[in-house]
Amino acid sequence: MKKTLRIYLVDDHPIVRQGLRMVIEKQKDMRVIGESGDVTTATAQIAELQPDVVVMDLRFPNGDGIQATEAVKRNAPHIQVLVLTQNDDLDSLQQAIAAGASGYLLKLSAVESLIPALRAAAAGSLYFDPQIKALVTSTFQPPPNVSQKQVELSGREKDVLRLLAQGLSYKEIAAELDIGVKTVESYRYRACEKLELRSRSAIIRYAGQHGWLHDA
């Protein structure tokens, strides 16, 4: 016989707690042993009831889910805390993990992620909402490649790239070099083709790397 997972809910919205309870209690091996709308009451009850997992919101009218998570983990490190929030930003994620949370769920996708997250928490592993995962992944994108191509640029092409890197518009460059706007465009695209630079940011990086931005 599998041990029933004892769960405590902390959320200031009763309707959310009700929904959570409905979803959780559909599972035969899970039981909500208590719930609260404010962190102070919750902290006290959690210490008393000793649930296996706490589902914790982050924002409260009179309190802060991060601090509550820290308190729970400080008093009873064996209790797993799953953060369930509307906040889909990296900061909140970072703070939650730092406070000792075992998972990070977004409320809108709670229907899909809550049960797997609870099981993962029970098993002592971490769980993150897929949407949060994408955000985390984008943070750890490798730095964009800087073109290493050694290509000979014409004087005008180099001028155009240098001025683009300095943040000038086509019109400003055209005036500066006394040529037409269309001509500026075509110099740019020819030079970018040669160097395989795909954006203005790439041009700026290339210019910086070649010391073009200091002699201006």
User: Which DSSP symbol is given to 108?
Assistant: G
| Choice from 189, 193, 196, 209 touching other proteins (CB under 8 A) | 189
64 binds other proteins (CB under 8 A): no
Task: By CB under 8 A, tell whether 15 contacts other proteins.
Answer: yes
Chain centroid, CA 126 distance in Å = 16
Nearer to other proteins, 149 or 182 (CB): 182
| CA dist., res. 28 & res. 174, Å (int) | 73
| Residue 188 near residue 160, CB atoms below 8 Å | yes
Alpha carbons 4 and 177: distance in angstroms, whole number: 76
Q: Decide if residue 62 touches other proteins (CB under 8 A).
A: no
Name all contacts of 146-149 with Cβ < 8 Å and 24+ positions apart: 146/202, 146/205, 146/206, 146/209, 147/195, 147/196, 147/197, 147/202, 147/206, 149/194, 149/195, 149/196
205 belongs to the binding site for other proteins (CB under 8 A): yes
Is 66 a binder of other proteins (CB under 8 A)?
no
Kindly tell me which residue out of 47, 90, 123, 175 binds other proteins, with binding defined by CB under 8 A.
Answer: 90
Cβ density class 97-112: b for 16+ within 10 Å, e for less: bebbbbbbbbbeebee
What residues pair up with 82 in beta bridges, in sequence order? 55, 103
Name the minimum Å distance from CB 212 to other proteins: 13
Pairing mode, strands 127-128 and 63-64: unpaired
**How many residues bind to other proteins according to rule CB under 8 A?**
42
Scanning residues 118 to 137, which ones bind other proteins (CB under 8 A)? 134-135, 137
The reply on whether position 98 binds other proteins by CB under 8 A is: no
Taking CB under 8 A as the criterion, the residue among 4, 18, 145, 154 binding other proteins is 18
Question: Binding to other proteins by residue 169, rule CB under 8 A?
Answer: yes
| 27-56 binders of other proteins (CB under 8 A) | none
- Interface positions with other proteins (CB under 8 A): 11, 13, 15-16, 18-20, 22-23, 26, 59, 86, 88-91, 107-108, 110-111, 114, 134-135, 137-139, 144, 167, 169-171, 181-182, 185, 189, 198-202, 204-205
